[in-house]
Structure 1
Amino acid sequence: MLDALIFDMDGTMIDSMPSHKHSWVEFARRKQLQVDIDDLMRRTTGRTGIECMRDLFDHPEMDEATAMAHVHEKEAVYREIFSPIFAEVAGFKAFFNLAHGRGLKLGVGTAGDRHNQAFAYQHLQMPIAPLTTVGGDEGLPGKPEPAIFLEAARRMGVEPARCIVFEDAPLGIEAARRAGMRAVGIASSHHPDELTGPHVLAIVPDYNALIASRFLETHHVASS
């Protein structure tokens, strides 16, 4: 009953959340905004860039062009910070390659825009590309709404119930539940207690733990 894996990107594929946090601090300083960064991260991790900017500026009706200009500025700061220290979440590429070898379809569902996606893929240098990537700049609502994950499943031609989502954030774990998908919590940026749910199959620090526990062998019967 497993055909596909869907990965969030930031904090799930790549160890980027500290750099995102740093970039929010710098962006708020430039805009002379007084912001509780920890609270902002809690409210917005998994939401789209436009949603984040409307929240940050407390301006729900901010037009898309203005919001996107802010997004591009903030994300440029993030990439500048993260580029020299870029790192995957430990074991991600090895796990991804193992899943591909078993014949599973592999997709990405992220609130990150196409520029951050390109940045991540360039640095990861993955020998196998995801079958599809659904991003936060495609007009879909961000997490905890399930739209991004559902669209990834649709593009891969897989029923939601036959997908497992890999997520590092509570809003993403909830989005998987709303999508009717099972989930794995990657506790790279949140406490494991924040990633629980009846649909959560495992909560691990990284993919090395999933490889060691033979997660794929347990949950997927490869086709002969």
Structure 2
Amino acid sequence: MPHLIFDMDGTIIDSMPVHRSSWARFAARHGLSEQAHELERATSGRTGVEGMRALFGAALPLKLAQAYVHEKETLYREQFGAQFRWVNGFERFALRARRLGLRCGLGTAGDRHNIRFCLERLPGPELAGLFEVCVGGDEGLPGKPDPAIFLAVAQRMGVSPADCLVFEDTPAGIAAAGRAGMRAIALLTSHSAEELAAPHVLAAVPDYEALLASPHCPF
């Protein structure tokens, strides 16, 4: 069976609508003219610092970029905390993977604060510690579509990239999986199957309940 590597936002948690909303609030505070879809396109898959430099210019100082990331992600966590939800079926899927002894890692452009915010909400003792490795976007690695984050997960797990199956919801994430030499399952929470199509994508599903009922389920 493959080792499982999950993206976070839009892949295990249904957070993308709130990210769009928090980006809009952040943009209004700072006089950014980009519309919500433009903000999403400019920042999708990128680390927080990369995203801020895409919006404010490549010369944006690191400390100011980090301060902007903290501001924006605080808005996101405040809003999403009141309506937190997993992508449909993820808990059941994860529990089944855990009981079968599959190894799981997390590879996200989100920072350590967003990762902790998410993982603290894993339900029940059986899913505590589900992800043996977590690699985030504030570790100095380039964001997706660069494969660095996924490759770091595999390296820290001590497994071959070819033996990993990635779960992703964006074109940048799907591209990163391919460049890492990994197969992928596309979650259609943010984009269409056509937008996420690639030779290494084994299936495109709306959620984990559909995947569990699919012949492409990895177990």
* TM-score when normalising by structure 2: 0.95
Quote the residue 1:46 is aligned against: 45
Match of 1:172 in 2: 173
Structure 1 residues 215 and 103, CA gap change in structure 2 (3 angstroms): farther
Instruction: Look up the equivalent residue of 2:202 and give its one-letter code.
Output: L
Shift of 1:63: 1.9
Which residue of structure 2 lines up, in the alignment, with residue 139 of structure 1?
Answer: 140
1:75 aligns with 2:76: no
User: Following the alignment from structure 2 to structure 1, what is the Cα–Cα distance between the partners of residues 128 and 171?
Assistant: 28
**C-alpha deviations, 1:166-199, integer Å up to 9, x for none?**
0001100000000000000000111121111000
Shift of residue 101, structure 1, vs aligned partner: 2.0
Counterpart amino acid of residue 96 in structure 2: L
AA of the residue aligned to 1:18: P
The answer for unaligned runs of 5 or more in structure 2 is none
For residues 126-169 of structure 1, the C-alpha deviation after alignment (integer angstroms, 9 at most, x for no partner) is 62321110000000000000000000000111100000000001
Give the C-alpha shift of residue 207 in structure 1. Answer: 0.3
Q: Structure 1 residue 93: deviation in Å?
A: 1.5
Is 1:152 aligned with 2:153? yes
Which residue number corresponds to residue 13 of structure 1?
A: 12
Please give the alpha-carbon distance, in whole angstroms, between the structure 1 residues aligned to 2:172 and 2:64: 25
On the 8 A contact 1:54/1:67 being kept in 2, the answer is yes
Measure the CA separation in 2 of the matches of 1:198 and 1:43. 25
Q: Distance in 1 between matches of 2:183 and 2:198?
A: 9
Match of 1:26 in 2: 25
SS at match of 1:84: coil
Higher mean displacement: 125-134 or 45-54 = 125-134
Say which SS state the counterpart of residue 108 (structure 1) adopts. strand
TM-score, scaled relative to structure 1: 0.93
In structure 1, stretches of 5+ residues that fail to align are none
Could you tell me how far apart the structure 2 residues matched to 1:19 and 1:182 are?
A: 28
Are the aligned partners of 2:142 and 2:149 in contact in 1 as well (CA < 8 Å)? yes
Identity of aligned residues (%): 55
CA distance, structure 2, for counterparts of residue 61 and residue 146 of structure 1? 24
Which of 51, 59, 62 is residue 60 of structure 2 equivalent to?
Answer: 62
- 2:202/2:216 contact within 8 Å kept: no
User: 1:100: Cα distance to partner?
Assistant: 2.0
